[in-house]
């Protein structure tokens, strides 16, 4: 009976959000409303049924039709969106050098901000005096630690090998999303197609024109698909938030509250860094934060950087005034390279926390420098889905000769921290796109400064 009541409540909430859409309430306001409704409903479920209740579990399995369906739709469109957008961007700019500037700028910014994020993570850990010395290990933590050790045994931490593996030996396999480097592999393959088309422009102009018409038509169709999917964002966010809140273990969070607080202080500091960079670029940070908030909210609730790519790209193009080429490259690269939260903050914090267990002074400047450099260099190919931070931590900790099994100590609060990390990852990608667009002089200030432009309204033009 409880499950049926909960389903009725969810249907009513979905109907309410739909009524806001029919009344043309702004996209941002509907996202805020969906977030609040999700939190409220999740809290009510915990109070009424208690955490771990079978009723909550069964209810969430039905709510998953909305949340899981939305995330899967987004992931479904990622590969075709990345492919047609990057190919279209290259063959339409008619200048391979410009593509090189965009790619170099985006990658440089992602790696640079990840290095600074690592330093911020170190500082936050030292400020909160985090240490794994004396922490008790339960059955779950010990089991997770063993899994970490087993993963490490199958992991090649060679930087050269990681770089080489981003080049797809089978691009069609990469298109299926298999492997940690799938997204960036698709980007590389798509870039080769675009550059190849430009390379035959003089000898085979008719072929180039045919290719251009085909790619542009495919791009229009894919963008229409993106439009249809993004209109479901408020519903997806609400259902995702209900699950997060209704299944949170308050007791376990309180046991590791120091690490949670240190993590979110670091994440807030990195987000502030992004806003400062935008300010230095001559842009209003308040406008920037308001326009990217729906993207960060979805990243926060879904815990997937890769799944956020469609919403990321559309927001950059339609709300921030960034060109499609820059937006696609920054969003795609940002899902696999230089993730400020997962590949920057988290591994650095763990390194500082675990170092004392093997007699290393985490305040030693040389140790800190080593951590920052290793984090920056190893931040290639981090999976853009939940769990990518663990992959990054394994690489960094093993490179520092620190025990990886202690990562299992944080298993109970991993989802809570991962939400914030994912939002910061996406923020870093969007910041890289914004700064790059300003750098190459391909930025529409009128779109950026227009407070009336809403994502959903602007994409109706597609």
> Which residue in this structure is represented by tokens 């290259």?
90
DSSP state letter for 342 = I
Looking at residue 387, its pLDDT comes to: 56
Query: pLDDT digits over 232-263, tens only?
Result: 889 988 998 898 888 877 766 666 788 889 99
- Angle, to 10 degrees, between the axis of helix 346-354 and the axis of helix 257-280? 140
Taking the C-alpha atoms of residue 457 and residue 436, their distance in angstroms, rounded to an integer, is 26
Distance CA 62, CA 71 (A): 15
Token duo for residue 333: 């690269």
Q: Let me know: does 237 contact 74? Beta carbons within 8 Å.
A: no
325 touches 102 (CB < 8 A): yes
What pLDDT was estimated at residue 118? Answer: 94
Q: What pLDDT was estimated at residue 37?
A: 93
Rounded average pLDDT per 10-residue block, the chain, 462 residues: 89 93 83 89 89 87 91 84 81 68 89 94 92 60 52 54 74 73 79 85 84 87 84 88 82 76 95 96 92 89 81 89 86 84 90 88 92 85 58 80 73 80 94 93 86 53 38
Predicted confidence at residue 462, as pLDDT, reads 35
The domain that holds 438 is classified in CATH as: 1.10.3860.10
Q: Rounded distance, CA 110 to CA 93, Å?
A: 23
The full DSSP string for 239-277 is HHHHHHHHT--HHHHHHTHHHHHHHHHHHHHHHHHHHHH
What is the rounded radius of gyration, in angstroms, for the C-alpha atoms of the chain? 22
Looking at the 3D structure of the chain, how many domains does it have? Answer: 1
Please say whether the beta carbons of 422 and 341 come within 8 A: yes
pLDDT of residue 162: 65
291, 315 Cβ separation under 8 angstroms: yes
Bridge partners (DSSP) listed for residue 322: 443
DSSP code of residue 320? S
Q: Domain residues for 261?
A: 2-461
Dihedral sign, Cα of residue 297, residue 272, residue 346, residue 130: negative
CA-based max dimension of the chain: 72
The tokens for 318 are 């339609």
Question: Distance (Å, rounded) from C-alpha 58 to C-alpha 69?
Answer: 17
Q: What pLDDT is recorded for position 149?
A: 53
C-beta separation of 74 from 306 below 8 A: no
pLDDT given for residue 93 in this prediction: 66
Q: Tens of pLDDT along 393-437?
A: 777 888 888 887 667 667 667 778 888 999 999 999 999 999 999
CB 281 within 8 A of CB 359: no
Closest CA to 37 of 235, 218, 212, 297: 235
Q: What's the token pair of residue 185?
A: 């592999």
């Amino acid at each position: 009976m409880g499950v049926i009541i909960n389903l009725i409540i969810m249907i009513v909430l979905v109907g309410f959000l739909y009524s806001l859409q029919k009344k043309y309430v702004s996209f941002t306001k509907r996202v805020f409303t969906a977030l609040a409704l999700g939190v409220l409903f999740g809290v009510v479920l915990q109070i009424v049924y208690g955490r771990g209740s079978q009723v909550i579990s069964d209810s969430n399995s039905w709510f998953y039709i909305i949340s899981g369906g939305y995330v899967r739709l987004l992931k479904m469109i990622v590969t075709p969106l990345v492919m047609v957008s990057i190919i279209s961007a290259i063959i339409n700019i008619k200048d391979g050098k410009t593509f090189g500037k965009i790619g170099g700028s985006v990658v440089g910014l992602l790696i640079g901000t990840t290095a600074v994020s690592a330093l911020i993570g170190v500082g936050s850990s030292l400020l909160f005096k985090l240490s794994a010395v004396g922490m008790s290990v339960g059955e779950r933590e010990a089991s997770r630690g063993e899994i970490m050790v087993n993963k490490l045994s199958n992991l090649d931490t060679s930087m050269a090998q990681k770089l080489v593996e981003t080049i797809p030996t089978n691009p069609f396999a990469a298109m299926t999303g298999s492997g940690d480097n799938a997204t960036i592999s698709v980007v590389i393959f798509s870039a080769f197609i675009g550059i190849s088309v430009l390379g035959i422009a003089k000898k085979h102009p008719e072929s180039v024109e045919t290719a251009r018409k085909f790619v542009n038509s495919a791009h229009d169709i894919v963008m229409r698909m993106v439009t249809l999917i993004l209109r479901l964002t408020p519903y997806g966010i609400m259902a995702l938030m209900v699950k997060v809140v209704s299944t949170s273990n308050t007791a376990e969070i309180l046991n590791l509250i120091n690490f949670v607080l240190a993590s979110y202080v670091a994440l807030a500091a990195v987000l502030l860094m992004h806003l400062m960079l935008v300010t230095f670029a001559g842009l209003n940070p308040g406008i920037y934060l308001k326009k990217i908030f729906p993207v960060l909210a979805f990243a926060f609730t879904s815990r997937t950087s890769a799944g956020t790519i469609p919403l990321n790209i559309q927001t950059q193009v339609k709300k921030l005034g960034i060109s499609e080429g820059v937006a696609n490259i920054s969003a795609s690269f940002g899902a696999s390279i230089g993730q400020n939260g997962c590949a920057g903050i988290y591994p650095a914090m763990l390194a500082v926390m675990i170092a004392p267990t093997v007699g290393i002074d985490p305040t030693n400047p040389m140790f800190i420098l080593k951590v920052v450099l290793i984090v920056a260099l190893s931040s290639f190919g981090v999976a853009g889905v939940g769990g990518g931070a663990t992959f990054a931590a394994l690489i960094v900790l093993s490179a520092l000769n620190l025990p990886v099994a202690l990562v299992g100590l944080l298993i109970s609060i991993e989802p809570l921290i991962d939400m914030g990390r994912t939002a910061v990852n996406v923020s870093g990608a969007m910041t890289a796109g914004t700064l790059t667009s300003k750098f190459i002089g391909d930025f529409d200030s009128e779109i950026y400064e227009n407070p009336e432009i809403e994502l959903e309204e602007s994409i109706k033009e597609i």
